[in-house]
Amino acid sequence: MSIRAGALRGVFGAPVSRYDQASALWLLAPMLAVLLVVAVFPVLYSFWISLFDLRLTRPHRVPFVGLDNYLEVLQDELFWSSVWRTTSFTLMSVTAIMVIALAMALLLNEEFRGRRFLSAMLLVPWAIPYVANGLMWKWIYDSGYGALNGLLFQLDFIDKYMVWLGDSHKTLALIANAFVWKEVPLATILLLVGLKSIPADLYSAARVDGADLWRRFVHITLPALRPSFMLVMIYETMMAIRHFDLFFILTEGGPAEASHVLAWQVYVETFRKLSFGTGSALAYIMALVTFLLAFWLIRTLGRKL
């Protein structure tokens, strides 16, 4: 087999033969085919669908409407209020996750009796499936027999049972709380990995220079933790924007429209109204917003990684 001058070079700079290139392509072909079928085709097809007024319950009339579905979504007041609610939910959730996960990671980075047990316990919420988590919180928040009311009542914090999810002022924050509870373990682990990678020498040198605990945290821990911090923030932001399960199980978008977020609107359009055209358009808008946000986060914050 011949190696042509100027041929491709491999990972370690060694030239790659035509035979190797062809073999690589053949070996990758099955996976590429699978990706084409399960990822690329559905994505393109759903875009195609978004250009039609496709309602499953009206199968014999599917007119081409171009970008009308997108315009319809963008002119819908409910869409913009959903954007606002999704933003609120994301800000609340991600802020809480970052603060709690950082505190937990700092705690677990210290040596103390019971640290291993605490680390194991931390994983419990992460191990619980989202649906089970939702049902558990539904029971906790229930206004009639919920554990939260029971606890607060027994501790004399309240003199009668409160309305939780049914109070539209509290709904979004309560769902965010359930989301945070589930997400904190993963965030903690990722931050803990970052903490473990900080050389102990840096802290020793800072101590010799007379830096107190706060200064060591601000000048060593936080800068060194930035890559993990960015990773967690971007991941959790994406998760919060797309989150659906808890809204479905706890409130179904209610009461009134108090928890009607973007992910819920996509579900309602697509699977309740069976309007696949507008549902796909909405999903595309949501995907685009998520992508742009992730891009912005990586460009502005990620460059400091």
**Min separation Cβ 256 and another protein, Å:** 4
Q: How far is CA 154 from the centre of its chain?
A: 36
Buried b / exposed e across 83-101, counting CB within 10 Å, b at 16+?
Answer: bebbbebbebbbebbbebb
Q: What binding mask, one character per residue, do residues 12-51 give for another protein by CB under 8 A, x or -?
A: ----------------------------------------
Q: Which stretch binds another protein (CB under 8 A): 54-62, 91-99, 119-127, 281-289?
A: 54-62
Please enumerate in sequence order all residues whose Cβ is within 8 A of that of 126, keeping only pairs 6 or more positions apart, or say none. 182, 185, 186
Q: What binding mask, one character per residue, do residues 151-190 give for another protein by CB under 8 A, x or -?
A: ---------x--xxxxxx----------------------
**Min separation Cβ 281 and another protein, Å:** 16
**Min separation Cβ 288 and another protein, Å:** 25
Q: Residue 152 or residue 297: which is nearer to another protein going by CB?
A: 152
Evaluate the omega torsion of the peptide bond into residue 255 and state whether it is cis, within 30 degrees of 0: yes
The Cα 279–Cα 274 span in angstroms is: 8
- 90, 71, 125, 114: which is closest to 285 by C-alpha? 71
257 binding another protein? (CB under 8 A): yes
281 binding another protein? (CB under 8 A): no
Choice from 1, 5, 31, 60 touching another protein (CB under 8 A)? 60
227 binding another protein? (CB under 8 A): no
The Cα 302–Cα 231 span in angstroms is: 8
Choice from 30, 59, 114, 210 touching another protein (CB under 8 A)? 59
The Cα 198–Cα 212 span in angstroms is: 17
The Cα 234–Cα 229 span in angstroms is: 9
Choice from 155, 208, 256, 299 touching another protein (CB under 8 A)? 256
Q: How many residues bind another protein (CB under 8 A)?
A: 30
Choice from 56, 123, 131, 305 touching another protein (CB under 8 A)? 56
Rg (CA), the chain: 25
Choice from 18, 36, 41, 58 touching another protein (CB under 8 A)? 58
* Binding to another protein in span 117-146, by CB under 8 A: 142-145
The Cα 236–Cα 97 span in angstroms is: 8
The Cα 259–Cα 223 span in angstroms is: 36
The Cα 216–Cα 198 span in angstroms is: 12
Q: Map tokens 């507008």 to a residue.
A: 278
Q: Residue 20 or residue 76: which is nearer to another protein going by CB?
A: 76
Interacting residues toward another protein by CB under 8 A: 56-60, 142-145, 160, 163-168, 251-257, 260, 268, 271-275
